[in-house]
Amino acid sequence: MPKNKRARPSVASSSSASAPYSLASRNAGGGASSGIKSHAAATTSSSANLVAPNTSLGQHFLKNPAVVTAIVAKAAIKPTDTVLEIGPGTGNMTLPLLQQSKNVIAIEYDPRMIREVLKRVESTSSERKLRVVQGDAIKTRFPFFDVCVANVPYQISSALVFKLLAHRPMFRCAVMMFQEEFALRLTARPGEALYCRLSVNTQLLAKVDQLMKVGRNNFRPPPKVESRVVRIELRNPPPPVNFTEWDGMVRLLFNRKNKTLRSVLLTKPTIRMLDENMRTQRALNNNNNGGNDDHRMMEEEDDEKSAERIIEEVVAMEKWKDKRASKLDLDDFLALLAEFNKRGVHFA
């Protein structure tokens, strides 16, 4: 796996995090509506692109206008849309996004970049449509948006995907650039080498499409790895599953994805953790169902069994015997979780 050398930025001080910047507010009342420059010209000739990139912040700017145009087209932005852009940098993608949308809210960590992107819209018809928030996108509360577009440092990819999967209200889609291997993990299928916890969690909550490959030389400076653009659309309605518990189970099973379920689940620490969860769950059930005799009888039967015995029973079933996480699909994981829950075993 290619290692990304860029470090995640340290968190901005709370006083500076999430501070909105807007030329519109600084310049209210002034400025002609000259319209933004053609994007090709803006990308290749803007002084913004002369700002020294800080690669420790993942600053690899898209320098090929054709790629920018293709990404913006894939986002299918409507004139009524609010677009959330993560990491606008010098604004190479921000400008065409502004042209197509009602407004753009951009979250950028580096104040130098914020100055550049604001400079590029100053005195244009887009000026009032742009709001830039300074902060770490992972720690900043997202505003309402219809479409998210992002070309971010690859080391925040995972946190960003999980943040988007959990975001409500649901948005129409997110079009995101990722390191190639990360993008392929999002859509990996059972049995493929890249199939992992990220794959099943993402596919449980969203539909992901691979849109295009983007070579290293489309960036300034070129990153060490190839990139891909994907579209993420949240499943609506979301699946009826407790995600914390689902992720608890999936995380355990993918720790050693090529081992049998039996050998992954029947370890001392796992049994201890599941026994603890069972005790908590039983205590809660007893409180909640104090007057329900049928339920109490079922609980008493379950009470006799330890997590270890229940795991033994489940992994011995024909459906789960000798199975490994690396070969199970979403329906298998859902069925496995339901089987454990039915027997009182919980993963969170």
Neighbours of 164 (CB within 10 A): 21
Q: Which residue has the tokens 């690859």?
A: 154
CA distances from 306 to 202, 234, 261, 266, 277 (A): 32, 38, 17, 12, 11
CA distances from 274 to 83, 215, 309, 319, 320 (A): 43, 46, 11, 21, 19
Contacting range for ligand SAM; rule: CB under 6 A; set: 13-21, 53-61, 230-238, 312-320: 53-61
87 binds ligand SAM (CB under 6 A): yes
Q: Is the peptide bond before 221 cis (omega within 30 degrees of 0)?
A: yes
88 binds ligand SAM (CB under 6 A): yes
C-beta of 88: minimal distance to ligand SAM in Å?
Answer: 5
For residue 2 the two structure tokens come to: 């290619």
179 binds ligand SAM (CB under 6 A): no
What does DSSP assign to residue 141?
Answer: P
Q: How many residues bind ligand SAM (CB under 6 A)?
A: 25
Q: Cα separation of 304 and 346, whole Å?
A: 16
92 binds ligand SAM (CB under 6 A): yes
C-beta of 334: minimal distance to ligand SAM in Å?
Answer: 33
60 has binding-site annotation: yes
For residue 82 the two structure tokens come to: 């609010």
81 binds ligand SAM (CB under 6 A): no
147 binds ligand SAM (CB under 6 A): no
Residues 225-254: x where in contact with ligand SAM by CB under 6 A, - otherwise, as a string: ------------------------------
For residue 117 the two structure tokens come to: 């992107």
Single residue of 23, 24, 61, 157 touching ligand SAM by CB under 6 A: 61
Cα 152-156-160 angle, rounded to 5 deg: 85
151 has binding-site annotation: yes
Residues 101-140: x where in contact with ligand SAM by CB under 6 A, - otherwise, as a string: ------xxxx--x----------------------xxx--
Pure H helices in 191-242: 197-205
Contacting range for ligand SAM; rule: CB under 6 A; set: 51-59, 120-128, 285-293, 336-344: 51-59
152 binds ligand SAM (CB under 6 A): yes
CA distances from 203 to 99, 165, 189, 273, 331 (A): 32, 10, 10, 27, 11
Q: Are strands 219-220 and 61-62 parallel, antiparallel or unpaired?
A: antiparallel
Residues of the binding site: 60, 62, 87, 108, 136, 151
Contact footprint for ligand SAM (CB under 6 A) = 9, 57-62, 86-89, 92-93, 107-110, 113, 136-138, 151-153, 156
Residues of the binding site for S-adenosyl-L-methionine: 60, 62, 87, 108, 136, 151
